[in-house]
Amino acid sequence: MARFRAMLAKEFIQMRRDRLTFAMMIGIPLLQLILFGYAINADPKHLPAAILVADQGPEGRTLFSALQNSGYYDLVRRVQSEAEGRDLLARGKVQFVINIPENFSRDFIRGDRPALLVEADATDPGTTGNAIGSLSTALNTALQNDLKGPLESLAANDGPIDLRVHALYNPEAITHYNIVPGLMGVVLTLTMILVTGLAITRERERGTMENLLSMPTRPIEVLVGKLVPYILVGYVQVTLILLAARFLFNVPMFGSLLLLLLAAALFIVANLAVGITFSTIAQNQLQAMQMTFFFFLPSLLLSGFAFPFRGMPHWAQAIGEVLPLTHFVRVVRGILLKGNGIGNIAPELWPIALFAAVAMFIAMKRYRQTLD
Amino acid sequence: MNGEPIIDVRGMTKRFGDRTVVDHVDLTVRAGEIFGFLGPNGSGKTTFLRMLCGLLRADDGSGTCLGHDVITESEAIKREVGYMTQRFSFWEDLSIAENLDFVARMYDVKNRRQTVRKSLEQLGLAGRKDQLAGQLSGGWKQRLALAACLIHKPKLLLLDEPTAGVDPKARRDFWDEIHHLAGEGLTVLITTHYMDEAERCHRLAYIAYGKLLTHGAVDEVIGNERLTTWSVSGQDLAKLTEQLRARPGVEQTVAFGNMLHVSGGDAAALEQGIAPFRTDQYEWRQVESGLEDVFIHLMDKSKDNSLS
Ligand SMILES: Nc1ncnc2c1ncn2[C@@H]1O[C@H](COP(=O)(O)OP(=O)(O)OP(=O)(O)O)[C@@H](O)[C@H]1O
Ligand SMILES: [Mg+2]
């Protein structure tokens, strides 16, 4: 019993000494609590939608308010052509384009069941699923009032309008199509940060850093020399995931793989910079690991990889927009599933580049060539 | 030993927080010299060596090391210095040969392969070159570290307790090697806690609480202290020690096996102090003070100063 108490006391003392580890042990559950409790929402509402209106009749307006009232759609833009709508979808600016064709009101009154075309960016079926599901009920209920007299029979049959939903990019709502490309970013984030953090703190923990620093090297040589092997490892991971995506999960690949590999380079650099920064703070490998996790967790949850980005409250989206993973997930999905080119992904690339530059600056500022 | 100064620094100071760990140390070490750097644990020896080779930024001080400015030109200094850390700091997951090869590359050594091969042969490890460094015994690790420090033919060796935990035979071989290297013109600054090693140095410095207390050749260091020492042997020295310590004039007693060294700075006072115990029971003899007596004396003195 005495020895057990001695052991207990010793562990408590050591736990208290390692402040950072202790802070992480409290901080990580809190972070999880906040993220899972407040940020994540599997039923995203208020998805941005664009409308293309070619008909000025009153039924069109009824439809708009029905969509707005459903809570799933925010009509944020008016577009003039289908092409413009497609472009917004490709760049991820809107989730839906709702197309009210010419003569909609006239055909509706006549009982001709006019077509209402809804195009959805269904890359992530989780985002669009409920919104699409609610569509026909919402519309039918809204149009109920207009169905008087001879039109009443329509309500009983197929409904007064011909609702056509085009789930673009992932028409069969296959989750793999969405998850597997995103996974590339997740895997890179975790390994790149962890591995650089560990590689540098390991030298310090084992005392070999003193030896290394006593040699006539410039920090840039040490860092680049240390990091290049891990960049290669990162590319091995990218290749593996691409191969698996292609041959195991049959994920479509519409865009340029070369562009994807270039974007990956930028993303890898951003993560390495975070890893170096962590290694300048962490005293040992355990701390480096915990800090990695502390960064990884919000990246995973707020990036739109695992949960719909548009389902999150604004503050969570704001944090998500800062994280490189958020943008990289969009880049990969955009290139593979939407066939996006450089023009369409550029708006996602510069936030990664900016993040990389800032992180690299901090890393270089903090990286010491001496032991003090 | 009148070569040009290889290390010539003034006022070297290092603080960690509000603790001054190295306090305005001046030191001159000349070419071809084996210079011993002694001092109790935590006195700042390692910190001083680290400042010399640019591993720690000095808070104050100036001077040159190998003709380069010790504050601003650490890159040039590193190229010509071999620094052996107190704790083994080579890569335990690399083999012996890989470690040597890595170091040789870092210093841009010409004829690298040949140099590494020769180094392995001299080390006597050619047959075990593929063994991981982490599997070596303590003594062999030390030898590997020395070989690695020498691979780029440095002009100055900074050795931080290179023989701690090494057996006597290996220690002697090590010192023979050091003397051989010094004979060829290499300058060596070496820290140690062993008195026999201190005596094998051309010159010494003694540092305590960050302050350099004395320096010079062994006999100078001893002479400067003007310490009188008596050696006493006989029965029940433990009890005698206790009684002596209470006596005026007796400043320190150090047990050496069956003997006791009793020392004091004032020869007359010391003689009076021990007078009551000069009986048949004990055999008293005045001896020359040794390095150890002097160092312990210096340390006690500086402790008193730092407390007051
Ligand atoms: N990075 C550091 N931060 C704070 N204090 C330090 C640091 N490095 C050393 N010290 C302190 O500076 C003092 C001198 O340490 P140093 O290692 O130079 O002593 P030393 O003479 O080499 O001792 P030893 O003979 O035990 O090796 C010690 O009290 C130590 O605690
Ligand atoms: Mg030391």
Dump pLDDT digits (tens) for A48-87.
Answer: 889 888 888 787 778 888 888 888 888 888 888 888 888 8
pLDDT at position B46, please? Answer: 96
Same domain, B261 and B156: no
pLDDT at position A283, please? Answer: 85
Domain boundary pick from B169, B197, B222? B222
Q: Is residue B50 part of a domain?
A: yes
B169 bridge partner residues:
none
Q: Is residue B307 part of a domain?
A: no
Q: Is residue B301 part of a domain?
A: no
pLDDT at position A147, please? Answer: 65
Same domain, B215 and B240: no
Nearest residue to B288 (alpha-carbon basis) of B251, B261, B250: B261
pLDDT at position B225, please? Answer: 85
Same domain, B125 and B268: no
Query: If you take atom 24 of ligand 1, which residue's CA is the nearest one?
Result: B41
Same domain, B139 and B255: no
Range with the lowest mean pLDDT among A105-114, A337-346, B18-27, B37-46?
Answer: A105-114
Q: Is residue B295 part of a domain?
A: no
Q: Looking at the 3D structure of chain B, how many domains does it have?
A: 2
Q: Does residue A148 have a pLDDT over 70?
A: no
pLDDT at position B34, please? Answer: 96
pLDDT at position A241, please? Answer: 93
Cα distance from N-terminal residue to C-terminal residue, chain B:
39
Measured from the Cβ of residue A221, the count of other Cβ atoms closer than 10 Å reads 12
- CA pair distance B51, B46, nearest whole angstrom: 9
**Rg of chain A over all Cα atoms, to the nearest angstrom:** 26
Min Cα separation B141/chain A (Å): 14
pLDDT at position A2, please? Answer: 85
Q: Does residue B11 have a pLDDT over 90?
A: yes
Task: Give the distance from CA A180 to its chain's centroid.
Answer: 12
Q: Give B-chain residues touching A372 at CB under 8 angstroms.
A: 16, 56-57
Same domain, B22 and B157: yes
Nearest to B89 among A211, A216, A370 (CB): A211
Q: Give B-chain residues touching A204 at CB under 8 angstroms.
A: none
Q: Where are any strands of DSSP class E within chain A?
A: 47-53, 73-78, 96-100, 115-121, 162-168
Per CATH, the number for A47-168 is: 3.40.1710.10
In chain B, the residue whose alpha carbon lies closest to the alpha carbon of A370 is B55
User: Is the minimum distance from the CB of B39 to ligand 1 under 6 angstroms?
Assistant: yes
Q: Where are the domains of chain A?
A: 47-168, 174-371
pLDDT at position B20, please? Answer: 93
Per-residue pLDDT reduced to its tens digit, B55-64: 999 999 999 9
> And the tokens for A72?
């799933």
User: Is the minimum distance from the CB of B56 to ligand 1 under 6 angstroms?
Assistant: no
Percent of chain A residues past pLDDT 70, beyond the cut: 96
Is B53's CB within 8 Å of A214's CB?
Answer: yes
Percent of chain A residues past pLDDT 90, beyond the cut: 33
Sheet with B252-256, edge to edge strand ranges: B252-256, B259-264, B228-234, B282-287
Ligand 1: distance of its center to the CA of B22 in Å? 9
Per-residue pLDDT reduced to its tens digit, A205-249: 899 999 999 999 888 888 888 889 999 999 999 999 999 999 999
B63 bridge partner residues:
B9
Q: Give A-chain residues touching B55 at CB under 8 angstroms.
A: 210, 213-214, 370-371
Helix%, strand%, coil% for chain A, nearest 5:
70, 10, 20
Q: Is residue B67 part of a domain?
A: yes
The dihedral of CA B242, B243, B248, B254: what is its sign?
negative
Min Cα separation B151/chain A (Å): 12
User: Is the minimum distance from the CB of B43 to ligand 1 under 6 angstroms?
Assistant: yes
Do strands B211-216 and B259-264 pair parallel, antiparallel, or not at all (unpaired)?
unpaired
Same domain, B239 and B198: no
Same domain, B101 and B63: yes
Phi/psi of residue A157, nearest 5 degrees: -80, -120
Same domain, B205 and B188: yes
Query: If you take atom 13 of ligand 1, which residue's CA is the nearest one?
Result: B42
Per-residue pLDDT reduced to its tens digit, B227-236: 899 999 888 8
Same domain, B241 and B199: no
Looking at residues A30-43, what average pLDDT do you find? 84
Q: Does residue B117 have a pLDDT over 60?
A: yes
Query: If you take atom 28 of ligand 1, which residue's CA is the nearest one?
Result: B42
Q: How many CB pairs under 8 A join A and B?
A: 47
Q: Does residue A158 have a pLDDT over 70?
A: no
Per-residue pLDDT reduced to its tens digit, A174-189: 878 888 889 999 999 9
Same domain, B45 and B183: yes
pLDDT at position B304, please? Answer: 66
Q: What does pLDDT average to over chain B?
A: 91
Task: For residue B272, give its domain range.
Answer: 228-288
Is B55's CB within 8 Å of A217's CB?
Answer: no
User: Is the minimum distance from the CB of B42 to ligand 1 under 6 angstroms?
Assistant: yes
Measured from the Cβ of residue B290, the count of other Cβ atoms closer than 10 Å reads 19
Q: What does pLDDT average to over chain A?
A: 87
User: Which H helix or E strand runs over A128?
Assistant: helix A125-143
Range with the lowest mean pLDDT among A21-25, A327-331, B40-44, B99-103?
Answer: A21-25
Same domain, B76 and B101: yes
B114 CB within 8 Å of a chain A CB: no
Same domain, B60 and B31: yes
**What residue has token string 């006596």?**
B247
Per-residue pLDDT reduced to its tens digit, A310-362: 888 889 999 999 999 999 999 999 999 888 899 889 999 999 999 999 998 99
Q: Does residue B258 have a pLDDT over 90?
A: no
Q: Residue B139 belongs to a domain with what CATH number? A: 3.40.50.300
The residues, any chain, with a CB within 8 Å of residue A234's CB and separated by 6 or more, are A188, A191, A192, A264, A268
Instruction: Considering only residues B115 and A151, tell me which one the structure prediction assigns the higher pLDDT.
Output: B115
Q: Is residue B37 part of a domain?
A: yes
Nearest residue to A89 (alpha-carbon basis) of A137, A128, A55: A128
Min Cα separation B75/chain A (Å): 6
Domain boundary pick from B174, B200, B222? B222
Cβ within 8 Å of B, A 191-220: 206-208, 210-211, 213-217
Q: Is residue B300 part of a domain?
A: no
Ligand 1: distance of its center to the CA of A201 in Å? 21
Query: If you take atom 25 of ligand 1, which residue's CA is the nearest one?
Result: B41
Q: Residue B280 belongs to a domain with what CATH number? A: 3.30.70.330
